[in-house]
Amino acid sequence: AQSVTQLGSHVSVSEGALVLLRCNYSSSVPPYLFWYVQYPNQGLQLLLKYTSAATLVKGINGFEAEFKKSETSFHLTKPSAHMSDAAEYFCAVSGGSQGNLIFGKGTKLSVKP
């Protein structure tokens, strides 16, 4: 069965610092992988997705993620954090029993001035 593990429920960085949010997946088939961002009391916004094309995926707002099959990882990075990046981030993998996405527990990103 597919699953997603996000290491670190809370990550805090200074403004301008590198953002690294970790995601490892388990999948019996080549996965589709996603990163979503959620601001308070809002729905999910797609940051980027991996669908078996290029392993380095660029998304919106300067985020990117690299698919590493050997490490079963899909970590999210951004070179320089902005205050507006403070939010909850969810990694997800396709392949639920109903075709649904399976989500990690989420990582809350805080950005200090």
Question: Which parts of this chain interact with other proteins (CB under 8 A)?
Answer: 32, 36, 41-46, 49, 51, 90, 94, 96, 98-101, 103-106
Query: Least distance (Å) from other proteins to the CB of residue 23?
Result: 12
Nearer to other proteins among residue 8 and residue 16 (C-beta): 8
Nearer to other proteins among residue 70 and residue 98 (C-beta): 98
Question: What is the spatial distance between Cα 22 and Cα 76, in angstroms, rounded to a whole number?
Answer: 6
Residue 25's identity, in one-letter code, is: Y
Query: Least distance (Å) from other proteins to the CB of residue 64?
Result: 18
DSSP calls for 76-113: EEESS--GGG-EEEEEEES--TTS--EE---EEEEEE-
Nearer to other proteins among residue 6 and residue 73 (C-beta): 6
Query: Least distance (Å) from other proteins to the CB of residue 27?
Result: 15
> Which letter does DSSP use for residue 16 in this model?
T
Question: What is the spatial distance between Cα 20 and Cα 109, in angstroms, rounded to a whole number?
Answer: 10
